[in-house]
């Protein structure tokens, strides 16, 4: 919108239709008397329409009479007319403004709470999560401006030991609490079983529910190493010191249960050539139609083979419905050959690095469990040689590495 349009809106203007033989005289007289006419559109030899400021309507009528013309107002636009309509509907305007203020005020508070989880909750309930959230300050009626989401998440994890991760997001007046439960390694039967590491890592947290712990926080473990043993020693009283000590001669086999969370590292490298050859369709294509009766193929239309050196093949098959009950299946095969052209594309170093990082991250994401929490991510550009770039991505996670291993009888 230009300055003229803004100015005409605030002053107010009318669109008029002028009729008369001496319409040119009217335009000349208007200009001479300082009356501005714009957006003039001729409709016929004796008619035209234009726009004029509302303050110029009255003097323009005198000029029209002298030019033996007449005009009619067909539209009224601008702030003065809008203000007049508002004055006629004061109650509606006041109500709309009041409603907007109330709506804005209500939108600054939380009115809905939702508990969500990627998997069905086993140890937690929606009511328990909401009740604990209320204790830390997240409840219906809470002002969104007073909520520190990071602080609330940490406090809520402390109140819910069954949860390994909690995320709180605000969507308008809805507070969505995303919960990930801790995975407790346990079996439905009572067979003795150890909990072993399913991958290498450094122990960050260990919670033993049943069994004898073999590692502690800070220990480095390897895949297959026993974390919680099913062999639990008995207890005996040392007659000399009066202390209670483990009795390894009287042991009991149990089914080990617990949570072992460790820091785990994933690594992958991807090479991207800086010079790439991209194949694109030229728009030329050729279609071949074949009739297949049992194992026999008959060409009905089109070339014997692709007429292009570089091409892409698209195949569609259609069964002939009236032959479906036949012992010899009959179908039509449509082969479409699309010509391709090869072009040379040179990637910048930054672009190649981004592509390699994304590919490596996608590869690693497929290996990382859904419940794992990503602690750190490092992208290392290792080498640039022979028109190639190599990016190594390292990801550090915190995850439960325990898995049950039944003792062999």
- pLDDT, residue 3, reads 65
Contacts for 65 with CB less than 8 Å, ≥ 6 apart: none
Task: Give the pLDDT band of residue 187 (cuts 50, 70, 90).
Answer: very low
Q: Looking at 83-87, 224-228, 404-408, which range is the least confident one?
A: 83-87
Could you list the beta-strand ranges (E) of 274-347: 275-293, 296-301, 311-319, 330-346
The whole-number average pLDDT for the span 261-274 is 91
**Residue owning tokens 């559109």:** 41
pLDDT > 70: percent of the chain: 90
Q: Which residues face 316 on adjacent strands? A: 334
Mean pLDDT for all residues in the chain: 83
Residue pair 187/403 in contact (Cβ under 8 Å)? The answer is no
Residue 184 has pLDDT above 60, yes or no: no
**Residue owning tokens 């790439």:** 276
**Tokens at 44, concatenated:** 């016929």
The whole-number average pLDDT for the span 298-308 is 88
Query: H/E/C letters for each residue in 120-161?
Result: CCCCCCHHHHHHHHHHCCCCCCCEHHHCCHHHHHHHHHHHCC
Residue 101 has pLDDT above 80, yes or no: yes
Residue pair 266/367 in contact (Cβ under 8 Å)? The answer is yes
The whole-number average pLDDT for the span 272-290 is 86
Residue 188 has pLDDT above 50, yes or no: no
Q: What pLDDT digit, counting tens, does each position of 202-245 carry?
A: 999 999 888 889 999 999 999 999 999 888 877 776 777 767 77
Residue 161 has pLDDT above 60, yes or no: yes
- pLDDT, residue 93, reads 66
Task: Give the pLDDT band of residue 395 (cuts 50, 70, 90).
Answer: very high
**Tokens at 12, concatenated:** 């107010």
Residue 73 has pLDDT above 80, yes or no: yes
pTM of the predicted model as reported, rounded to 2 decimal places = 0.43
Whose CA is closest to 259, among 205, 304, 295? 205
Whose CA is closest to 182, among 135, 119, 136? 119
> Angle 79-88/90-106 helices, nearest 10 degrees?
90
What's the rounded Cα separation, in Å, for the pair 69 and 61?
Answer: 9
Q: What are the percentages of helix, strand and coil residues in the chain, rounded to 5?
A: 25, 45, 25
Q: Looking at 33-42, 234-243, 248-257, 276-285, which range is the least confident one?
A: 234-243
The torsion defined by the Cα of 11, 14, 19 and 25, in degrees rounded to 10, comes to 10
Residue 250 has pLDDT above 80, yes or no: no
The count of other CB atoms within 10 Å of the CB of residue 228 is 28
Q: Which residues face 162 on adjacent strands? A: none
**Tokens at 333, concatenated:** 């095969």
Q: What kind and span of H or E run contains 10?
A: helix 3-11
CA distances (Å), 386 to each of 247, 250, 273, 383, in order? 66, 67, 8, 10
Bigger pLDDT: 243 vs 194: 194
Task: Give the pLDDT band of residue 324 (cuts 50, 70, 90).
Answer: very low
Residue 323 has pLDDT above 60, yes or no: no
């Amino acid at each position: 919108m230009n300055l003229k349009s803004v100015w005409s809106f605030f002053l107010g203007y009318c669109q008029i239709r002028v009729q008369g033989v001496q319409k040119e005289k009217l335009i000349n007289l208007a200009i001479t008397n300082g009356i501005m006419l714009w957006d003039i559109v001729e409709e016929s030899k004796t008619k035209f329409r234009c726009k004029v400021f509302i303050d110029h309507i009255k003097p323009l009528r005198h000029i029209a009479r002298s030019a033996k013309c007449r005009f009619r107002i067909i539209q009224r636009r601008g702030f003065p007319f809008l203000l007049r309509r508002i004055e006629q509907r004061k109650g509606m305007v006041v109500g709309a403004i009041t409603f907007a203020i109330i709506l804005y005020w209500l939108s600054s508070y939380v009115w809905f709470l939702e508990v969500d989880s990627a998997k069905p909750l086993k140890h937690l309930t929606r009511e328990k999560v909401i009740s604990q959230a209320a204790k830390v300050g997240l409840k219906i009626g809470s002002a969104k401006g007073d909520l520190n989401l990071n602080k609330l998440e940490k406090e809520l994890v402390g109140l819910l030991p069954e949860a390994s991760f909690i995320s709180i997001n605000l969507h308008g007046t809805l507070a969505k609490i995303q919960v990930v439960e801790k995975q407790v390694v346990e079996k439905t039967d009572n067979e003795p079983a150890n909990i072993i590491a399913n991958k290498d890592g450094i122990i960050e947290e260990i919670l033993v529910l049943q069994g004898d712990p073999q590692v502690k926080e800070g220990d480095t473990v390897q895949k297959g190493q026993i974390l919680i043993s099913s062999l639990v020693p008995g207890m005996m009283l040392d007659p000399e010191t009066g202390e209670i000590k483990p009795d390894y001669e009287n042991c009991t086999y149990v089914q080990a249960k617990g949570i072992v969370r460790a820091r785990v590292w994933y690594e992958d490298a991807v090479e991207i050539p800086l010079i790439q050859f991209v194949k694109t369709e030229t728009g030329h294509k050729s279609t071949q139609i074949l009739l297949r009766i049992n194992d026999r193929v008959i060409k009905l239309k089109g070339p014997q083979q692709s007429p292009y050196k570089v091409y892409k093949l698209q195949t569609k098959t259609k069964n002939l419905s009236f032959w479906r009950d036949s012992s010899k299946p009959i179908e039509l095969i449509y082969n479409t050959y699309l010509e391709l052209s090869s072009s040379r594309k040179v990637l910048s170093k930054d672009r190649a690095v981004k592509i390699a990082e994304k590919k490596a991250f996608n590869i690693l994401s497929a290996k990382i469990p859904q419940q794992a929490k990503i602690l750190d991510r490092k992208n290392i550009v290792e080498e640039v040689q022979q028109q190639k770039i190599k990016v190594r991505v390292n990801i550090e996670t915190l995850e439960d590495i325990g898995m049950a291993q039944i003792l062999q009888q």
